[in-house]
Structures are given as C-alpha cells and as structure tokens.
Structure 1
Amino acid sequence: MRILLCLASAAGGIGTHVADLAGSLSAAGHDVHVATDPATRGRFDLPGDAMLTVGEVRAFGRGADVVHAHGFRAGLVATTAMATLAPFGAGVPVVVSLHNPIRGSGSSPRRVVGEAAARGVVRRAALVTGASSDLVADARALGARRAELAEVPSPRVPTLLATDRAGWRAAHRDALLARHDLAGETPFVLTIARVAPQKGIDVLAEAAAGAPGQWGLVGPGQQDLAADGPLHLLGETADVTPWLLTADVLVVPSEWEARALVVQEAMAAGTPVVARRVGGLPDLLDGVGLLVDGPQEASAGPLAGAVAAVLDHPDRAAHAALAARERARGWDGLDDSATRWVQRYRALARVT
C-alpha cells in the first residue's frame, strides 16, 4: 500500500509512535511517507519530504491508498486537503488518530473553538481512533462516523519483559543511584516526564516533600526547576530502562495521559505504579496499580499516601507488579500493531 502519515510538530510520545509505525509499515513492504515539519522529521528520522500543509498533503495524498493523521492539528490539515479531491465520503480515506483531548475547560474560548474544529475533523474522517477509551468516547460525542480504540505500543516493552528484574537490580541498582548521589538502601521513587503543565511536576514536588523515600525526576526541561527541593533532578536520558528497573515505585502525577508509554514500560519492568485516575491510565492499571482519585490541585497528599502504602507493603506491591507484568505480555508489539493498521487501511480502501 502507499500510505501517507501526517504529524504536526512533536517532541515526545506521538512522534515516537509515528516513527515506530512508519518503520514497521516500511519493513512490511509498504510505501510510507510522512508529512510533517523539518524539525520533527529530523528528530524522529521520519521518511519522506512532504510538509504538513494543505497543498502538499493534497499532492502526496492524491496517489495514496490512505492518509493517516495523528492528532487534531494534523487531522485538520489532512481532512481539509483530501476533501477537495473528491465529494464527501468518496476518494482516498482519511484516518484520524487522537492522542490528546481538546484543551480548555467549561465554556472557555479555547474549549469552544477547539470543539468546533475537532467536530469538523472527526466528521470528515472515514475512521477516528483513540489511544485510550475516553478519547474514543470523545470522538463519538463529536460525531465521528466510526470510532474505535487503537492502542499505542511501547517499543521497549519486549526487552523489559525479557529482563531478569531481580538479577539486574542486584548487579546495577546501587551503582546507578550512587552515581547520582542517591542512597542504595533507601527506596527510590521515580517519575519520568518532560517538564510541562500537563505533567503535574508541581504536584510531584509537593508530594515528595511529604512522603518517604528519595524521589527523582528524569526527563527534559528541568533547567528552570529549583535544584534544592525535595525532588532530585536527574536530567534527561535516551534510555530510561535502567531507571525503570532501579525504581521501587513509578509515580505519574499527570493531569491527563492516554496509554502512557512509560506506564506500559514500568509494568513490563515489574515496577509498581502509582498514578492519578485520569485518561487512559485506568485502562492500563485497574487491578494492578494504585490509582488516586480527586482534583489535580488536591492530589499531592493522596499521591504521597499511595507511595507510602506501596513502600510499607512490599509483598503486596510485588504481587501487583507481577500481575501488571503478566498483563503486559498480552499486548501487541510494534509489528502486530502495524499489521492491525494495514487491516484497517485495506478495509477502508474497499469500503470508501
């Protein structure tokens, strides 16, 4: 098949997902191009040279079997471009994958404008997918003709599942902590996230001040954070695997997440997870992790309490983490996920 993927500027998980999907589709023999901006293309080594503009998506999409846009912004460009090639409901099918909810709250201008734009995008698409079940519900509420769940896999999961956690920790954990002036005998509480409002780093720092253990943050954007607080700033790394295996608990304080890659990876590593009950995290963690309810502004105390519960009951936490690891063994890998996408594409090409 000839497949055009569309992606707006990205620096995190969505870009990683599109790169993984493009690689798996290409390896399976499909002709894959990505329409995006030069910085994103270079960051994720994406194939093709099309820019994410209406004109270039229209030109590249004209000869495609399917156009697959990731996110509302890319979906707006793709549906606008392809609607001009053929009457509504005919021609090259457009798939729109949602990875984030509409921003803004209540009846704020941002929310109202965002919903109006999103409604037009999802109604033009032949298929809308959500990375979590709440995004699928959002798409249906906005008027999508067809909406379904499409889980986004992490490429690190197979390696983590194959790793002997206990053996790795015995050989490497204390040395990694010592290199960052952390004590091996003290429980280590980890968060992996970029510094952004959605990620709840302020809540994390507040929770760290009132909880046992030594808390650390790994991820980009830490240069503006206070270095003398209760949260150890551990910088950015290309491979988070050693940190996941070192941690005694992973904490996810985000205001919202879809099918968070780092949570998938922690589950595969056998690391207990504490997270807020938001977005797609219950899809992953119900029954095998600790989920904290309540508003973002009041979540520091419950997060700290949940971490304390994990550390106070290591046998119970280990049992839950083992169940989480077994759940992860049943997930699709990158190639299986790409195969499912090709099945969707071909079904749409026959129907449209």
Structure 2
Amino acid sequence: MRLTIVVGMTAGGVGAHVRSLVERLGDHGVTVGVAGPAETQERFDFVGAGARFAPIEIGSAPNPPADLAAVRGLRRAFTGTDVVHAHGFRAAALSGLALGRRRPGRAPLLATWHNAVLAGGVKRVLLSGLERLAARRADVTLGVSSDLVARARELGAPDVRLAPVAAPVVAAPTRDRDAVRASLGAGERPLVLAVSRLAEQKGLDTLLAAAARWRARTPSPLVVVAGDGPEQARLQQVIDRDGLPVRLLGRRADVPDLLAAADLYVLTSVWEGRPLVIQEAMQVGLPVVTTAAGGVPELVGDGAEVVPVGDVAAIADTVSRLLDDPGRRADLAKRALAQAATWPDEDDNARLVAELCRELLGSR
C-alpha cells in the first residue's frame, strides 16, 4: 500500500508525529511518501526515516498564488498513491483541492486536525472557508482533541473520530541535574520550566505576569522557557523592562535534561490540542500546572493542576502553593505518571493509521 503524507510548515509536534509515523508504517506494509515544505524536511528528515519526499511549499497562512502552486504540486505527488493522509486543516484543504470532490475511484483522503483556528476578522473568514473545505473533502477526519472533533462535524465532515497523538518516549537525561541547574543560573532557587514556541497562541504574557508576582517569594523561582518564535524579541523586551526572573533559552536540543532539572512545568497556552510537551513532562513525573486550553483537560485528567486560560492569579497562586508543599508536588508527580500510563503510544498511532488506510481502500 502506498501512502502519501502531506504536512505544512511546522517546527514542533506535528512534524514529530509525522516523523514517528514514517518510522513505523513500513512495519505495517505501508510504503510512505511525504509532501511538504523543504524546511520541514530539513528539520525532521523524513527521507532519513525512509520516506520519499516531494517539496511542496505549504505555508501557515492563505496565499492564493502559492496555494495554487501547491495544489498543482500535490497532484503530481499523488500520482500512483493509494491513500493521502494530510496533517492540519490547511494541508487537508489543499489536498482536497488536488484530489477533487469525494467520489468513487478517487484516492481516499484521511485528514488529522491538530490545531484550531484562533485568528479573527478577515483572516478567520478565509481560514474558516478552508476548514469547511477540508472537512467536506476528507473521507475520514481525525481530531486530536474532542473540540476539534466537534468542529469538524459542525463543518460537515462525513466521518470524524477522536485520535490522540502520542508523544515520543522521553530520552534519559545526559547531564547531572545539579550541573544543568548551575548552567541555567538556578542554584538553590526553584526552577520552573516551559517548553514552547514563542507565539501568541502560547499565552506567554500570562507566564510573565505570574513571574512578576513570584519576585516577592524568597527565594524567587527562576523561570526558563525553551523555544523560539516570532514573539521572542517582544517578550525579551518585557522581561528586561520589568526585571523579571525569566530566561528565554531559545531552541534547545536537551529538553530531557531540562525536564530532569526542573521543579515544576507550566503551560499557559490559549489553545492546545494534545501538546507533546505536557505529555513529556508527565511521562517523567514532573508536576504540571496548565491552563484548561482546548484538549488539555481531557489529556491530563487528575494528573496535573488545571487553571482557567489567561488567569494570572490562578497560575501564580497554584505554582506558589506547590513550591511551598513538597508532599503535594510528590503526589502530583505520582498522579502524572499514572495518567501517562493510560495514553496510547507511537506504535498505537501507526497501527491506527495503517488500519484506517486499509479500511478506506476496502470501502472504495
């Protein structure tokens, strides 16, 4: 069976998930090709994982000339394929345009929705149109969280299913915890970690506002944020202006070391589907404080402290209570590990995709 996976511009969880599928689908009798931006291939090396690759520039925002070129390129890339699997509603919409309407004899389109539309105004109108197109052209739509499943159904998707995306197993740390803390300048201070793209969706202004409140603690915690993105310069200006105990670390290749060195993990996003970073933190028993963003509550269960989106006081107070109570942190760590044990793993994800491909081919 020949499968073509379509992916857009991504620097995080979506690309990691696609790479995981490429690595595993061959064991299920699936020959995989990937179509997407050259930059995404450079970051995740799908070819190195065994896939053929077709460079197709699929940006993160509507661009009619570029999108038309992408549709033409996808038509070429789909030659000889049995099933198409698009990741993200933009990739699904463009794949749907390339394949045409659902009809007998057309290659089936499987789509996984990883993110919600958060834009407003004219941009939201345009993106909502692409959402609707993606929903109606796909034979089966998978949502990584229940709100995405509901949205796809609302837009007319004929067959929608919940399909949680698994995080990879966290590698063992390579450095001593104390050495990592010393390199970050934490010393004996509590260390609060966030691993995040520096983008508006991640709600990092809430984290900075909470950090301003933690300055009154003795000792005040050090907050470190691993990741880069378009908000980096502005966030650094706020940190410098207000003298906040926050360090922006940039993109890091040593996340397992950071997880092992931290006392708490904090996520302040406005929306998330099934964030891999939360899964990684809970896998290693790191206590988590998170906003109730999108699919996060159903992901974490009672294995994390969940507070309202944008509630600075709730984030600040919850973190402070945990830092003051080692016993409570230890209990939260145990609950995190128990919840993580209930999640599907990467092999489960690959098995599901292979089964769906066979189901779609059989129904055709």
Which residue matches 1:50? Answer: 54
Amino acid at match of 1:69: A
Matching of residue 288 in structure 1 with residue 292 in structure 2:
no
Residue by residue over 1:170-190, the C-alpha shift from the partner in whole angstroms, topping out at 9 and shown as x without a partner, is x8222211112212x222111
Displacement after TM superposition at 1:200 (Å): 1.5
Residue by residue over 1:190-239, the C-alpha shift from the partner in whole angstroms, topping out at 9 and shown as x without a partner, is 11112111112222111111024221111124455136432122332113
Equivalent residue pairs, number: 335
Match of residue 101, structure 1, among 99, 108, 116: 116
Q: Secondary structure at the match of 2:52?
A: coil
| TM-score (normalizing by structure 2) | 0.86
Which residue matches 2:200? Answer: 197
Partners in 2 of 1:64 and 1:301 — Cα distance?
52
Structure 1 unmatched runs, 5+: none
Displacement after TM superposition at 1:263 (Å): 0.2
Which residue matches 2:212? Answer: 209
User: 1:1-352 residue pairs with structure 2 within 5 A?
Assistant: 1-46=1-46, 47-52=51-56, 53-83=70-100, 88=103, 90-105=105-120, 108-157=121-170, 159=171, 172-183=176-187, 185-211=188-214, 212=217, 213-221=221-229, 222=232, 225-226=236-237, 228=240, 229-294=244-309, 296=310, 299-352=311-364
Displacement after TM superposition at 1:340 (Å): 1.3
Amino acid at match of 1:88: R
Displacement after TM superposition at 1:27 (Å): 4.7
Contact 2:304-2:335 at 8 Å conserved across structures: no
Partners in 2 of 1:138 and 1:104 — Cα distance?
15
Structure 2 unmatched runs, 5+: 57-69
Partners in 1 of 2:293 and 2:105 — Cα distance?
37
Contact 1:89-1:126 at 8 Å conserved across structures: no
Residue by residue over 1:60-82, the C-alpha shift from the partner in whole angstroms, topping out at 9 and shown as x without a partner, is 32422210000111111111111
Higher mean C-alpha displacement, 310-319 vs 117-126: 310-319
Q: Secondary structure at the match of 1:49?
A: strand
Partners in 2 of 1:180 and 1:278 — Cα distance?
29
Percent of aligned pairs sharing the same letter: 38
Partners in 1 of 2:354 and 2:123 — Cα distance?
35
Amino acid at match of 2:353: W
Which residue matches 2:62? Answer: none
Distance 1:89 1:205, change over 3 A: farther
Q: Secondary structure at the match of 1:338?
A: helix
Contact 1:128-1:144 at 8 Å conserved across structures: yes
Displacement after TM superposition at 1:12 (Å): 1.6
Cα RMSD, aligned residues only:
2.0
